[in-house]
Amino acid sequence: MDDDESEKGVDMEAFQPRPIDTSKDLQVIAFGSCNKLNLPQNIWGDIAANNPNLWIWLGDIIYADTTNTRALAAHYKRLKTHPEYKKLRDKTPIIGIYDDHDYGANDGDKNLPNKRGTKKCLLDFLDVPYSAPVRKQEGAYQSYTFGKGENLVKVILLDTRYFRDPLAHDPSPDQRYFPNPDGDILGEAQWAWLERELTNSPAKLHILGSSIQVLANEHGHEKWGYFPNSRKRLFQLLVKTQPANLIILSGDRHMAEISRLDLAGLPYPLYDFSSSGLTHIRSTSSELNRMRVGDMIVKRNFGLLKIQWDTGRPILIMEVRGVENELLYDVTVKY
């Protein structure tokens, strides 16, 4: 079945196109990843209790692991119509990006068949209007600038699947893959777009969403570190474009942690705030990460980013929260 034939069969009943209202200031952003539909969906009320101005999906929204768009759309519809998720959706704008299990295959890359169809299913789930630029391009990368006046916040969502080069499996129990020194994650069109988004951006705070971790590099799971040239290129691009106050949000890992890198040439510390495990968590409770700030949180969790402003500079409160809205860990950063 080709892309056009498969897309004709997608159940569109739950698709209600609506543009995101970007005119309002962001004060509370919630985000998360890794949500299995066959497990209790009982964290949505805890998320909604924080009255977030925005929810960001960072992948593994569902665990469909299929490129059959009928099946994929049915999974998305099941979540979209779940009563607790619907309560959040009814009052909170939602944006996001896929990761491998909703892109179509575990650790999927650019060679995935029918990736256009799986991209379309994601955008339909997110109610992205047909007129949106992301509908007309290859890949699901997007950006949104929120607020009015001085304190603008730009959210940039990267597609780490659609253009990603393959990885070769490593039989070592500690590393799943061999690094691909010459491989790429984003593809040239997305790299050019990202540079345009960062160059001379008027935003005072930039949020870069990546489904896989950027900073943490010692673990053997998927990460930017398996593509050292891409990771280096991203760091060089940040130094070149000098975006004001950029923080990375990531998912994938079935735990939560905050990593920090003092990147030469960037006038502020670079943080990667990972939140993963809305419905399930990993089995191991320890892992080396020399950049980690504080503890690794191995409990069901979601991330909360609270934004305050002090004379034009953002103050970020990064909170890891869990079931019953329990505060599990927090870090405050003043730029």
Q: Note the pLDDT tens digit of each residue in 187-202.
A: 999 999 999 999 999 9
Q: Looking at residue 18, what is its pLDDT?
A: 87
Mean pLDDT of 75-94: 96
Q: Note the pLDDT tens digit of each residue in 235-268.
A: 999 999 999 999 999 999 999 999 999 999 999 9
- E strand spans, the chain: 28-32, 54-58, 94-97, 142-146, 153-157, 168-169, 177-178, 205-210, 246-250, 256-261, 270-275, 302-310, 313-321, 327-334
What percent of the chain shows pLDDT beyond 70? 96
Query: CATH second-level architecture of 3-334?
Result: 4-Layer Sandwich (3.60)
| For the chain, domain boundaries | 3-334
Q: Looking at residue 112, what is its pLDDT?
A: 97
